[in-house]
Structure 1
């Protein structure tokens, strides 16, 4: 006897919600999507099918057809913490290389990259490998993604 084919619920709506019914933990790269099957942290599988590729942030939530909301949480990932006497200058060099960067008052965070690490070390930065959620700055108008020249 064959088993019936079950389809995952299809989500086409995103809202902002700080009290979702469930969560899905995604890396920075995985939070940039249009169509993908995801599994929530409690095991609910659902299909995301958005009109356009979207950059998701902490606090965004997928709305399932039954009304449940699955919130987006940034996953810990391998990052490079940057501190130093002149964070503004270091941030400029990172931005000049189109690297996504999380800007905080006393430090910067970027995805680990040995070439950028070497450059920042030569510029006098103090560098430390960390594993943390990554939520870099958006584009010039507060949203979007920074892309390499290969996009």
Structure 2
């Protein structure tokens, strides 16, 4: 089966519509969410080809296939993350500037900054005394570098 478009996202579906179907999941590493063309396998062994026609990243909860009986959904494996919790605007600005200088992609959840684990950033956070946790956590979208140059 070749998937060329996303049907919907499971978060936008009625709970009753989900419950009447058998759910299969495709588990992806967050870095694979940016791939429009890939071969995957569901947790039930069904092989799929993904070849998206539109320019978009996959997201956790994207429905790849749905009929009256089955639904196939993207799920994301947990990433090794630093969850940074600045206490005030000064700490937020300081760490945002430092992460930007390192070209580190970041995501935000509430007041927290999420970055993929890097021991140098961990050392920096300890040095700056900015609160953080090192944990495994699922993200909904890929960490994406923003293309630019210093020219």
Give TM-score scaled by structure 1 length. 0.71
Number of the residue aligned with 2:81: 79
Tell whether the 8 Å contact from 1:24 to 1:40 is kept in structure 2 after alignment: yes
Q: How far apart are residue 148 of structure 1 and its match?
A: 6.0
> Do the aligned residues in 2 keep the contact of 1:84 with 1:125 (CA within 8 Å)?
yes
State how 1:98-137 maps to structure 2 within 5 Å.
Answer: 98-135=103-140
Note closer, same or farther for the CA distance 1:95–1:69 as it changes in structure 2 (3 Å cut). farther
Structure 1: gaps (5+ residues) = 1-8, 139-144
The gaps in structure 2 that reach 5 residues or longer are 11-17
Question: Residue 17 of structure 1 corresponds to which residue in structure 2?
Answer: 9
Between Structure 1 and Structure 2, the one with more strand by share is 1
Whole-angstrom distance in 1 between the partners of 2:126 and 2:67: 50
Partner of 1:146: 145
1:55 corresponds to which of 54, 57, 69? 57
| Count of matched residue pairs | 136
User: What does the per-residue CA deviation read over 1:20-62, in whole Å, with 9 as the maximum and x for residues that have no partner?
Assistant: 7422121210111121110112221111112366311122121
* TM-score, L = length of structure 2: 0.71
Distance between the aligned counterparts of 2:31 and 2:142, measured in 1?
14
Q: Distance in 1 between matches of 2:3 and 2:142?
A: 26
Give the superposed CA RMSD. Answer: 3.1
Kept after mapping to 2: 8 A contact 1:59/1:71: yes
Q: Which has the higher contact order (CA 8 A, sep 6+)?
A: 2
Aligned 8 A contact 1:10 1:49 in 2:
yes
